[in-house]
A and B are shown apart, each in its own frame.
Chain A
Amino acid sequence: MSINHSGIPRTTPRQSATFTQDINSEIRRAAATGIYDIRGGGAKRKLPTFDDLLFLGASISRYPLEGYREKCDTNVTIGGLNAANPIHLEIPITIAGMSFGALSGPAKEALGRGASEAGTSTTTGDGGMTPEERGHSSKLVYQYLPSRYGMNPNDLRKADAIEIVVGQGAKPGGGGMLLGQKISDRVAQMRNLPKGIDQRSACRHPDWTGPDDLEIKILELREITGWKVPIYVKVAGARPYYDTTLAIKAGADAIVLDGMQGGTAATQDVFIEHVGQPTLAIVRPAVKALQDLGMHRKVQLILSGGIRTGADVAKAMALGADAVAIGTAALIALGDNDPKWEKDYNKLGTTSGAYDDWHEGQDPAGITTQDPELMKRFDPIEGGRRLRNYLKVMTLEAQTIARACGKNHLHNLEPEDLVALTMEAAAMAQVPLAGTDWWPGKSGSF
């Protein structure tokens, strides 16, 4: 215990739980610059997650399947409701939309290579389709975004599916952002904008508003593409029951639902951390909407936002998703935030694992940059191999859990296989609190 100069014992210096060091540093930064903090990635705050759920596994009442021997299928077909050519995936883990511009050309190539080798799809982003990306992706989903950067009917017809992006988990209600540092000649040309300016994409589509318009927009896209490819609708996890209902009503073949842990190339930190809902909280309302309309398993649900492991995949599917999408995790598999670049991260005032200034284009790993020198650090063939390995491990992990629960297909996992560790997770996932047969809000409970 310290003593002051009068000999009176002093209380220990006490940090405020309200004005934390993090908060104080942000206040000082805001006061110095006059601009909100912009960063990449998804929500970093502590949230209820799939980690708050456990699988029960087999017992006397359920018998398991033999690991490595008995069949446990992982395939999924997306878009069979209306499209002549639905997408058949070998694994239910897809690569989420990430733009050329936000990512380097080689990074997009690596995503295509890895996804194709693993038997799944990758997705364009807010910047159009590059030939490299199309060439290296056996199944490519073309995003149809409010900005319509690079949108053209020729690329639309090259796509294996079209994803109409209404919202993104990191920023429900916000548009994309690509700051001037990353606007190279090629990026500028693809987006029809001057080099070096801050590109702030529109937050809503320019030529439709509301579900009735969306239905007609989907009709137009189907007519242009001859009713051949599936049309997904991507929404942020804001109002999942109603958004899923309205997307189905509008004629979507699949719903992509993105929770607030889902990443973005760049947006305001306040947006990432304070708008939207955790991925755990959004899946059951969306599944209920599908079930209420008799469309569960007919219109596929692709869940994204903080999916990291095969356990996350299995839990998402047990709660009713048909597939998942990964973005941030895929970038980490490629080499993003790798400790081997620690000295370079330190020079940028950060550390590996925490680096999120993707918008500045100085990524030491050479992934979220358009700097030719930094891009040389990234090998798309090696990156693709790493992504393939990671996708295969996730799949094996999910199969391990499914077999332990006695399921011969990942789609056969069900909420009954799960319990929750916390009251919050029990309420959100609508599965029993561990050791009970109860969850908050369960019909018949108090």
Chain B
Amino acid sequence: MQTYDLANGSLRELNATLHAQNKTTNQTSWKIINPRGAHAIACGLDSPIEVAIHGSTGYYSAGMNQHATVNIKGSAGPGVAENMMSGKVVIDGDASQYAGATGHGGLLVIKGNASSRCGISMKGINIVVHGNIGHMSAFMAQSGNMVVCGDAGDALGDSCYEASLFVRGSVKSLGADCEEKEMRPEHLEILRELLVQGECDAKPAEFKRYGSARTLYNFNIDNAY
């Protein structure tokens, strides 16, 4: 286990050190202490290392992650795991707005609540939220899956495309062109797997599925908002 103390080191040195790890590194386990809300911690990782951040982070922690597993043992600021490509990011606490924004792949697990615009413009990422999510989540969500074990705020899935949104609790309102969809066996299977991966003991049968009504895919004046 390698330990890096951000109270005594710089963000640049930390990220450069983590970026220098390649696929064959034997320094596979990292512990970062005293993050103290710093921005852009562990962003741009590109190797199968494990990074545990002991404390809360600022903006864009684990941004554009590839291959790495990042565990934030606190809460995360805006844009955590934005544009993630692969790997896994787990937040023990809450996540601020834009969590997992535009993510192309990988798994983001938020064990607390997520604020507004969770999964905005997601492009293949899977997101599991143990608690609630805020308004405008999954706005323009293109692909991937979002699992919400609590409630969803206003305008869920506004203008979404082919992403699947699973919510166990209430949905305050659906956004433009988002509707409840049939839950077929293949969706229950996806959900079951994500709940296991997300370390969540909820039952798939308790969820409803939401997705695009596809009325905005090609412009029609009668469907305009």
Q: Which residues of A contact B (CB under 8 A)?
A: 33-35, 147-148, 151-154, 156, 180, 191-194, 196-198, 202, 206-208, 213, 216-217, 219-220, 223-227
Give which listed residue, A33, A147, A153, A193, contacts B46 with CB less than 8 A. Answer: A153
Q: Which 10 A-B pairs have the closest CB atoms?
A: A224-B44, A34-B221, A207-B98, A148-B102, A207-B79, A197-B217, A192-B123, A153-B64, A207-B101, A220-B60
Whether A194 contacts B217 by the Cβ 8 Å rule is yes
Q: In the assembly, what is the distance between CA of A207 and CA of B219, in Å?
A: 27
B60, closest chain A residue (CB): A220
Selected A-B contacts with CB under 8 Å, 15 pairs: A35-B221, A148-B83, A153-B44, A153-B64, A153-B66, A180-B217, A202-B121, A207-B79, A207-B120, A216-B58, A217-B59, A220-B40, A220-B79, A223-B12, A227-B12
- From 2 to 16 in chain B, residues with beta carbon under 8 angstroms from any chain A beta carbon are 11-12, 15-16
Q: List residues of B whose CB falls within 8 A of some A CB.
A: 11-12, 15-16, 19, 39-40, 43-44, 46, 58-60, 63-64, 66, 78-79, 82-83, 85, 98, 101-102, 104, 117, 120-121, 123-124, 139-140, 142-143, 161-162, 217-219, 221
Instruction: Choose one: A198, A207, A213, A216; the contact of B102 (CB below 8 Å).
Output: A207
Q: How far is the CB of B138 from chain A (nearest CB, A)?
A: 11
Residues of chain A lying within 8 A (CB to CB) of residue B217: 180, 194, 197-198
**Number of A-B pairs, beta carbon distance below 8 Å:** 100
Q: Chain B: which residue is nearest A148 at the CB level?
A: B102
Cα A249 to Cα B104 with chains together (Å):
31
In the bound complex, how far is the Cα of B105 from the Cα of A152, in angstroms? Answer: 11
Q: Helix, strand, loop or mixed for chain A's interface?
A: loop
Chain A contacts for B63, CB-based, 8 A: 220, 224
Name the residue on B nearest A144 (C-beta): B83
Most chain A CB within a 10 A radius of its CB, from B40, B43, B78: B40
Complex partner residue of A194 from B64, B101, B162, CB under 8 angstroms: B162
Chain A positions within 8 Å of B162 at CB level: 193-194
Residues of B within 8 A of A206 (CB): 82, 98, 101-102, 117, 120-121, 139-140
B40 near A219 with CB under 8 A, answer: yes
In the bound assembly, the distance between CA atoms of A194 and B161 in angstroms comes to 8
- Provide the bound-state CA to CA distance between A323 and B22, in Å: 39
Q: Are A198 and B12 in contact (CB under 8 A)?
A: no
Please measure, in the bound complex, the distance between the C-alpha atom of A156 and the C-alpha atom of B85, giving whole angstroms: 13
Q: How far is the CB of B112 from chain A (nearest CB, A)?
A: 19
* CB <8 Å contact, B64 and A156: yes
Q: Are B78 and A207 in contact (CB under 8 A)?
A: yes
